[in-house]
Structures are given as structure tokens and as C-alpha cells.
Copies of this chain bind each other. A is one copy, B any other.
Amino acid sequence: MPSPQPPAGRPTSKDVAKHAGVSQSTVSLVLAEKWRGRVSPATVEAVRDAVAALGYRPNTSARSLRLGRTHTVMLVVPVLTSPFFGAVHTGAAQVAAERDFGVVVYPTRDGVDLTPNPFSSAAIDGVLASSMAAEPLDVLRSAGPGTEDLPLVMLDSEPGRGVPTVNDDVADGMRTLAEYVVGLGHRRVARLRSAVQTWTFRARDAAFRAALGPAEVVAEATAPLTLDGGREAALTLLASPARPTVLVCDDDLQAAGAYKAARALGRRVPEDVSVTGFGDLRYARVVEPELTTVRLPAVELGARGMTALLDLLDTGDAGPDVVLTGELLVRGSTAPPASG
């Protein structure tokens, strides 16, 4: 005797309804918590029991189709192996989970588009993007065709361009750092900047120069934010005839590379040359001496960015632009310049 259609797959709201002896609509009302004057407490109880008994979970695709929202957002970052963006993701994912949103990560590796396929599976309601690798329009375009008009919040991007932003106050951080370095007595500064010049790096440099006071930049170079990039550029800078007494880097990993350059040149840190980083990535405390740097609240950056994006989705308003203050961390890599 062939049993007629064993339900097999996951239970649906219809199954729950049958089990509870009510209609599918009622189940839906109960689950949406919209039964204020429409369903009796006893019935609510019955539905809840049925849900538990069957282990029912709503079908997200159906819900999305009905509501026109996927409850998923995309996080666009340069490659995720950087501890900074890992932390950004952590904060963002935390907030998203609390508000019942999923996060799909979209790593833009040097501008390579991961989903050239127009039938990409990414069904998303909005985009949270770091500008480290791109301008706002590029970000949206890179998320695939048809996404140009998605709600967007940018991280570490120039404010006032029509897109809500959540930023680290890199200008304040750099100013504080500059004042500290100058206060130590340094006057001849070498500057190692990021090779990719997104807004956050331009802002760092402008703030640094504005706060130099009696000191001046006597040598300057750009390099990728890598160990080897930092090492090679620092080799040149430290050998500069202008004899800088401090090397101010845009990034901790660059600074770690600078340590290697200093060692290769027989210069001690900080006795012969001071070195500073930026970001307080985990490298900062791994190196010896530990690195003087500016802590950027990466986790909070992700969290506040996600909050703004979800607010934007819910209310149409992301709220005012956010600026998160960093913190100068003085450690062992800085000292007054050697006399003479």
C-alpha cells in the first residue's frame, strides 16, 4: 500500500497549521507576532507547540520573495586576510546577527571582480563597503550589474559625497601622533605612505603635515602595505642623506618591514631611529620593540557601519555620519632623537 505523499522535506507553515488545527494564515500571524486582537491566547499556544513539535523553520526564500527583502547584506572589503578587515567583519557580523541579517563577504582582490556572472547568486538588500580599494560608485558596480542603486554605507571614505559614511578619525590620530613625535624632539621626519591613495590615506597625510610645527618631512616614499614593501622603501628612506630621526609609517605592517630595514643598516630602534605605525594590528605587539602606533577601533567600525546600513534599510535614514576616535599607543619604538 503506497503511503500517499510522505511529507519528506522540511515542514512548512501548512504542516504546522494542520498539526495545530488552524489555517496557514493563523500560523503566519502568530509567527509574525501580529496577533494582538486576532488570535486567542489558546490558539497561539497551540501553534507554538506545533512549531516546536515539528521543528519548523520558515523558508527564507519564500519569505524574501513575499517581502521583497532578503535580510542579507554584502560586506565589501579588500582581501580578508588582513587582521584589520577581519575585525571589521567581526563587528559587522555581530550587529547583523543581532538584527537577524546575514552577511556575505565580497573580497575585492585588487579590483578583480569575483562575480562577473550576471546570474550571480548574491541576493542582497544593501552594501557595506570599505573604500580601501575603491570609490563608492566602483564598489556598487563591482557588486554586479543591476546593483547600482542598492543602499550603501561606506567605511573610511570621504564624507559629504551623498553616501553615508562611518569613519575612523584618522586625522585626529595622526595629529596626536605628530604632536607626540615632535614633542619628543624630532625635527627631521621620514614618511612612509601607502601606495594606494584612498581617502583615508590622503587624510592621514594631510593631518600629519598640518601638525608638524617646527619639524619637517625630509624624506618620503610610498609602498604597499606589506612587510617587504615596507622594508624596501625604508631602506632608501633610512639611508637618506637628510638623516631622518624618525620614520612615520601609514601602517603597522609597513613599520614591521621598516624594522628589518633598520636592522640591515645597523640602526637600532628606537635608539638610532624611532618608528611609528598606524592601525594597531596584531603585528604591532609581535615586533620587538613593540610598536608605537594609533589604535583604530576596527571592530567598532564594522559594528557602527552595519548599524548605519540596517537603519538605512529600515527607516530610509542612516543617521548622521559617524566618526570614531582612535587612540595613541606609546610603546617601545619611539624615543627622543639621539643628540647630535
Question: Known contacts being A57-B146, A65-B59, A104-B104, is A72 close to B282, with CB within 8 Å?
Answer: no
Task: Enumerate A106-129 residues with CB–CB distance to B below 8 Å.
Answer: 107, 109, 114-115, 117-123
Which residue in B60, B82, B285 is a CB contact (below 8 Å) of A227?
A: B285
Judged by a CB distance under 8 angstroms, whether A55 is at the interface is: yes
Judged by a CB distance under 8 angstroms, whether A263 is at the interface is: yes
Which residue in B114, B121, B227 is a CB contact (below 8 Å) of A71?
A: B121
Judged by a CB distance under 8 angstroms, whether A46 is at the interface is: no
Judged by a CB distance under 8 angstroms, whether A24 is at the interface is: no
Judged by a CB distance under 8 angstroms, whether A80 is at the interface is: yes
Give a binary string over A5-44; 1 marks a CB under 8 Å from any B CB, 0 the rest.
0000110000000000000000000010000000000000
> A282–B227 contact, CB under 8 A?
yes
A103 CA / B65 CA spacing, docked (Å) = 20
In the assembled complex, the CB of A110 is this many whole angstroms from the nearest CB of chain B, namely 12
Q: Chain B residues near A314 (CB, 8 Å)?
A: none
Segment of A93-101, A205-213, A214-222, A236-244 engaged in the interface with chain B? A93-101
Q: Chain B residues near A282 (CB, 8 Å)?
A: 81, 227, 253, 283
> A79–B72 contact, CB under 8 A?
no
> B93–A107 contact, CB under 8 A?
yes
Q: Chain B residues near A68 (CB, 8 Å)?
A: 9
> B104–A120 contact, CB under 8 A?
no
> A122–B60 contact, CB under 8 A?
yes
Judged by a CB distance under 8 angstroms, whether A339 is at the interface is: no
> A121–B102 contact, CB under 8 A?
yes
A90 CA / B109 CA spacing, docked (Å) = 9
A31 CA / B117 CA spacing, docked (Å) = 12
Question: Known contacts being A61-B65, A288-B260, is A105 close to B81, with CB within 8 Å?
Answer: no
Judged by a CB distance under 8 angstroms, whether A89 is at the interface is: yes
Judged by a CB distance under 8 angstroms, whether A286 is at the interface is: yes
> B89–A80 contact, CB under 8 A?
yes
Q: Chain B residues near A62 (CB, 8 Å)?
A: 61, 65
Q: Chain B residues near A104 (CB, 8 Å)?
A: 72, 102-105
> A86–B81 contact, CB under 8 A?
yes
Task: Enumerate A253-310 residues with CB–CB distance to B below 8 Å.
Answer: 253, 256, 259-260, 263, 282-283, 285-288
A57 CA / B117 CA spacing, docked (Å) = 10
In the assembled complex, the CB of A144 is this many whole angstroms from the nearest CB of chain B, namely 8
> B60–A118 contact, CB under 8 A?
no
Q: Chain B residues near A55 (CB, 8 Å)?
A: 145-146
Q: Given known contacts A57-B144, A287-B287, what 6 new A-B pairs fall within 8 Å (CB)?
A: A10-B146, A94-B114, A100-B117, A103-B104, A253-B282, A260-B288
| 16 sampled A-B residue pairs with Cβ under 8 A | A10-B146, A57-B119, A58-B119, A61-B62, A64-B64, A81-B90, A89-B105, A90-B109, A102-B120, A103-B105, A104-B105, A105-B105, A227-B282, A227-B286, A256-B286, A286-B286
